[in-house]
Amino acid sequence: MRTGSCTRMTAETEITLTLDLDGTGKSDINSGVGFLDHMLTLFARHARIDLNARCAGDNMVDDHHSVEDIGIALGEVLKEALSEKRGINRYGSQLLPMDESLVLCAVDLSGRGTLRFTANIPSQKIGTFDTELVEEFFLAFSRTAGITLHIQQLDGENSHHIVEAMFKAFGRALKQAVAIDPAYADEIPSTKGVL
């Protein structure tokens, strides 16, 4: 069972999150941030992982702490679920169109937390959601999970489409990377012998 769970409590947020890498794409998300709920639901569906998340955050200030801390919690449970990463593909990538938008996402479950995020999201808000928080989410996630994550917007004019393409592409790239390769099921996918 490749699963992970965490409870994260700070002065700003209280989060519980569970993940099953071998799920079917089911999710139950209540982050207190409606747009993030929508994105995480899409992510889980496209990654074919089961994801449950609850967050009570200081949204009266803004959504920053909730979005960042959910990224941290998701990184923690992914790391737990992957354990020593034996048998995984390690790499995954997706070029994903969403209407006029086009996003490239590439993942390496390297053990090294790196984010390269190249995007020009036209609007500062999608509904009440601050679009600058998209990068904050992926930064918190990649650092905590210890993965190399590249997200590059190649085209797009509609902010909702651009961000949705990012989360869908991220889900599909991660699905490839965490998949077990039966031919190498007992091996760590690195010449170092550890990831």
Q: For 2-53, write each residue's pLDDT tens digit.
A: 999 999 999 999 999 999 999 999 999 999 999 999 999 999 999 999 999 9
Residue 118 lies in a domain: yes
Residue 191 lies in a domain: no
Q: From CA 28, how far away is CA 25, in angstroms rounded?
A: 10
pLDDT at 87 over 90: yes
Q: Which of 90, 78, 30 is nearest to 56 (CA)?
A: 30
Residue 19 lies in a domain: yes
Residue 31 lies in a domain: yes
Residue 195 lies in a domain: no
Between the alpha carbon of residue 163 and those of residues 64, 75, 131, the distances in Å are 16, 19, 8
Q: Which of 45, 34, 43 is nearest to 67 (CA)?
A: 34
User: Contact, 167 vs 42, CB < 8 A?
Assistant: yes
Residue 37 in 3-state DSSP?
helix
Query: Hey, which residues does 13 pair with through a beta bridge?
Result: 57
* The model's pTM: 0.96
Residue 106 lies in a domain: yes
Q: Residues, the chain, total? A: 195
Extract the tokens encoding 127: 């509904």
Q: Label residue 102 by pLDDT band (50, 70, 90).
A: very high
Q: Please name the residues in contact with 60: beta carbons below 8 A apart, sequence gap of 6 or more.
A: none
Instruction: List, for residues 145-175, the tens digit of each pLDDT value.
Output: 999 999 999 999 999 999 999 999 999 999 9
Tally of CB atoms within 10 A around 124: 10
Between the alpha carbon of residue 178 and those of residues 26, 36, 114, 147, 172, the distances in Å are 17, 23, 17, 12, 10
Number of structural domains, the chain? 1
Residue 82 lies in a domain: yes
User: Contact, 115 vs 143, CB < 8 A?
Assistant: yes
Extract the tokens encoding 184: 């190498």
Q: What is the CATH number of the domain that holds 11?
A: 3.30.230.40
Tally of CB atoms within 10 A around 151: 24
Residue 69 lies in a domain: yes
The boundaries of the domain holding residue 94 are 3-184
Instruction: List, for residues 2-12, the tens digit of each pLDDT value.
Output: 999 999 999 99
Q: How far is CA 191 from the centre of its chain?
A: 26
| Tokens 């993940």 -> residue | 19
